[in-house]
Every structure is written in structure tokens, then in C-alpha cells.
């Protein structure tokens, strides 16, 4: 079974994000970069299936040279191969999906995994876009998975219960928190990952159809109010909740 996992290098969620002087993008200097946390669930599930059913796991990313660090982390976890599709300049989400879909079609994978979303843009769009371009089934936000001959059965959480979906392979699945517990790379795995060859492909540049005009920080929160102490403060608190906050009627 040939399994692909799409991964992305993202800023550590503990990093302090600052905008550049032009307010056109974030300041990337001095940021700590990590493998997207949701992608770790995808890599772990792919490795489990490959161990149970037999097969190889290839991790794929689309980005500049530094994106190879995401591939190295996934290789250290146990992936067999890695592909870096190099991009130049800015590409929007659809352009990224088109570049990835082209390689995925050529490689003819049985299963394609991706994280539910990347924690930097929070879009959750790349997986479904790729599946649409490739015209294959897509199941998002999976929390449980069973793989049979030529089909998969996935479970996803919905409000008040669970939803079970079947799909034929090849298909694309996006991993949600709770699907598994990602393993930590062992020292041996880290050393072996450094020696593994990363296949580098030149991605075709697609002119972006979406332009980022500017970025801004969230507005500062208004200072809190102290309306008093004890029971005497209740009437004023209720009035503020009704008339200013408008959270009660």
C-alpha cells in the first residue's frame, strides 16, 4: 500500500508573532519553526496503517528550502521517503493544492493523509481542494479509521454524536486531534532521518488569484470594570450585562 502524508512547516504556537514593517506578512526572523501539530496525527496514522497492512509512507511538502525541516521530523518518526516540491514566490491556497495534486496523481498513492488544518493560517482547505482536483473521495476531521480492501471506514465527531463514513480508495483523509497519540522521534530515528535522501521536485508557479492587502493585530481588549462588592453590586452588574454587553435580556 502506497501512503502519502502532506506536511507543513509552521511557526511554533508558543512563538510571539510580529508583523513586518510593511504590515504585509509576519516577521519570520527569530521564529521557532515546527512540524504542523495536526500533521503529526496524520503521520502517526499513516505509520500505523503501513505497519498493520504493509506498505510505505512518503511525506510531501510544498515550500521553500527550509520546509525540508518538516520532512526530516516526519522521517524521524518513521516515514520511508520524502518529497519537497519547491516553490518560488507567493502562492495562494488553490495554487498550493494544484501543485500538490499534480505530484500525488503522478505517484498514484492509495491513501493520502493531511492534517485537519495548519495552525498558521487555520484554513483547513488544502485537503478538500486536492481531493476535488483529483476527483477522489475526501473525509475530513477523522477521529477513528479502519482500512479494508479497497475501502476505508472513518469516524468523525459531530454535535451530539459520531458520524461513520465509508469511501473507496484512493481517498484523502484529514486528521483531527484524538485520532491517535503521535510518537516521539527516537534518537536512532533522528540520526537515520539525517541520512535519508529527500526527493526535490520543481513546482510549477501558479499566479495567485488571491492577494493579501495587509495584516493587522487584533484590537486591544477594553479594560475590565469593577462595579462593587457583594450583593450591592448585583443590580449594576445586571444592568451592564443587559445594556452594554448585551449578553442577557
The CATH fold of domain 2-202: Rossmann fold (3.40.50)
* Residuewise pLDDT in 10s, the chain (249 residues): 999 999 999 999 888 888 988 888 888 888 899 999 999 999 999 999 999 999 999 999 999 999 999 999 999 999 999 999 998 878 899 999 999 999 999 999 999 999 999 999 899 999 999 999 999 999 999 999 999 999 999 999 998 899 999 999 999 999 999 999 999 999 999 999 999 999 999 987 778 888 888 899 988 887 888 888 888 889 888 988 898 888 887
| Residue count (the chain) | 249
CA neighbor of 56 nearest in space, from 68, 74, 38, 72:
74
Instruction: Compute the distance between CA of residue 216 and CA of residue 19 in angstroms, rounded to an integer.
Output: 8
- Domain locations in the chain? 2-202, 219-249
Instruction: Compute the distance between CA of residue 144 and CA of residue 49 in angstroms, rounded to an integer.
Output: 12
Amino acid at each position: 500500500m502506497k501512503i502519502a502524508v502532506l506536511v507543513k512547516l509552521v511557526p511554533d504556537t508558543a512563538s510571539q508573532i510580529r508583523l513586518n514593517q510593511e504590515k504585509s506578512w509576519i516577521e519570520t526572523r527569530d521564529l521557532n519553526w515546527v512540524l504542523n501539530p495536526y500533521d503529526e496525527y496524520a503521520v502517526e496514522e499513516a505509520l500505523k496503517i503501513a505497519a498493520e497492512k504493509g506498505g510505505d509512507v512518503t511525506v510531501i511538502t510544498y515550500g521553500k528550502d527550509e520546509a525540508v525541516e518538516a520532512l526530516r521530523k516526519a522521517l524521524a518518526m518513521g516515514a520511508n521517503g520524502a518529497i519537497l516540491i519547491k516553490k518560488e514566490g507567493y502562492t495562494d491556497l488553490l495554487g498550493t493544492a494544484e501543485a500538490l495534486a499534480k505530484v500525488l496523481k503522478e505517484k498514484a498513492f492509495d491513501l493520502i493523509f493531511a492534517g485537519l488544518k495548519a495552525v498558521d493560517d487555520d484554513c483547513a482547505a488544502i485537503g478538500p481542494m486536492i481531493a476535488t482536483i483529483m476527483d477522489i473521495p475526501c473525509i475530513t476531521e477523522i477521529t477513528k479509521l479502519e482500512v479494508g480492501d479497497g475501502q476505508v471506514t472513518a469516524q468523525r465527531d459531530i454535535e451530539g454524536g459520531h458520524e461513520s463514513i465509508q469511501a473507496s480508495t484512493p481517498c484523502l483523509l484529514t486528521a483531527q486531534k484524538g485520532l491517535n497519540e503521535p510518537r516521539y522521534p527516537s534518537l536512532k530515528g533522528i540520526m537515520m532521518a539525517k541520512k535519508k535522501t529527500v526527493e526535490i521536485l520543481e513546482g510549477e508557479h501558479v499566479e495567485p488569484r488571491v492577494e493579501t492587502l495587509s495584516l493587522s493585530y487584533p484590537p486591544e481588549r477594553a479594560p475590565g470594570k469593577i462595579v462593587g462588592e457583594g450583593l450591592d453590586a448585583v443590580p449594576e452588574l445586571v444592568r451592564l450585562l443587559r445594556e452594554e454587553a448585551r449578553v442577557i435580556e
